[in-house]
Chain A
Amino acid sequence: MKSQQEITDDLASVRSMMEKSSKFLSLSGLSGILAGVYALAGSAFAYFLSMSMRVPNYRTGSDYHIIRKAPDLLWQLVVIALGVFVISIATGIILSSRKAQKQGQTLWNTSTYRIIVNLIIPLATGGIVIVTQIVYGNFEFVAPGCLVFYGLALIAASPNLYEEVRYLGYSEIILGIVCGFLPGYGLFFWAAGFGIFHIFYGAIMFRKYDR
């Protein structure tokens, strides 16, 4: 017969094993904060670039009109967005692999593999849908589309990650839907979703898990 203490220990050990075996616990909170900072810098750059186009009658609240008037801007904005995306992913991989090393874990395991598959499906779908809309000149769709599909990707990947990732996913979807009703403020919503939200949730994760 087992003592109560032994049973309590058994329960605690099986719980920690189930979590350890299915979750990628090396995701760096700091990389979330940095991704937010890159996104804010990219948004500010995009804003000043749009202003420098000197399109007559341009005002905030109709930011997609400017792309119709200055077609070159489209590609410059795409380059900025992809640049922010690539640097953020690279930062995430570098900082998470360092954290994994510190924890005596490996970066690549079955959980990471599942996270990547779960992220790629909604992200690639969203990317293709957004491109189809750009082709037809529906620039209003870009910012809400990015936010909603990114949110879906985070929720899809969240079973193998910290629970904060799921809340970030919900937040992005809600923000994206609101953004869909306010065309013309896309850049501001983009900056809020990819900048401020990342810094906010990154900071929570940093405080909770990085130290």
Chain B
Amino acid sequence: MKNPFENFDKILEHRMRLQIVGILVANESYDFNTLKELLQTTDGNLATHIKALEKEKYIIVQKSFVDRKPNTRYKISERGRSAFRKHLDAMEEIIKNQKR
């Protein structure tokens, strides 16, 4: 029997990273501060996870200025979207298999 965890995405296994990607799939774009509020986390923690997702090219970072203040927005990439879908499918598969 093949390992059911083989399709698991190592990056998305962490709950907060999975949540960030989920939020970006559900919305066109999201900014750092709103994301921080929603996830009720600290600047440092969120920044670390975002960096990991950015490195993996799961999210797209858009830097701009609003009223001369830097404003960073995040968007999901196609790569991130398909990784999210695959990871959810893998999770579903495991739950289904164990119910049998």
Q: Render A15-33 as a binary contact track against B, CB cut-off 8 A, 1 for contact.
A: 1011111100000000000
With an 8 A cutoff between CB atoms, is A133 at the interface? no
Residues A21 and B27 in contact, CB atoms below 8 Å apart: yes
**A interface residues, how many (CB within 8 angstroms):** 19
The B interface is mostly helix, strand or loop, or mixed, namely: helix
Q: How far is the CA of A185 from the CA of B55 in the complex (A)?
A: 63
Residues B38 and A20 in contact, CB atoms below 8 Å apart: yes
**Interface segment, B13-21, B44-52, B62-70?**
B13-21
Known: A10-B15, A11-B88, A110-B30. A21 touches B23 (CB 8 A): yes
Q: In the assembled complex, how far is the CB of residue B67 from the closest CB belonging to chain A, in whole angstroms?
A: 16
With an 8 A cutoff between CB atoms, is B34 at the interface? yes
With an 8 A cutoff between CB atoms, is B95 at the interface? yes
With an 8 A cutoff between CB atoms, is A101 at the interface? no
Residues A21 and B94 in contact, CB atoms below 8 Å apart: no
With an 8 A cutoff between CB atoms, is B91 at the interface? yes
- Give the interface size class of chain B: 20 to 34
Give every chain B residue within 8 A of A2 (Cβ-Cβ): 5, 13
Give every chain B residue within 8 A of A9 (Cβ-Cβ): 15
With an 8 A cutoff between CB atoms, is A4 at the interface? yes
Q: How far is the CA of A57 from the CA of B15 in the complex (A)?
A: 72
Residues B22 and A14 in contact, CB atoms below 8 Å apart: yes
Q: How far is the CA of A8 from the CA of B96 in the complex (A)?
A: 11
Q: Interface of A with B (CB < 8 Å)?
A: 1-2, 4, 7-11, 13-15, 17-22, 109-110
CB pairs A–B below 8 angstroms (10 shown): A1-B5, A9-B15, A11-B88, A11-B95, A13-B19, A14-B22, A18-B26, A20-B38, A22-B27, A110-B30
Q: Interface of B with A (CB < 8 Å)?
A: 5, 13, 15, 18-19, 22-23, 25-27, 30, 34, 38-39, 88, 91-92, 94-95, 98
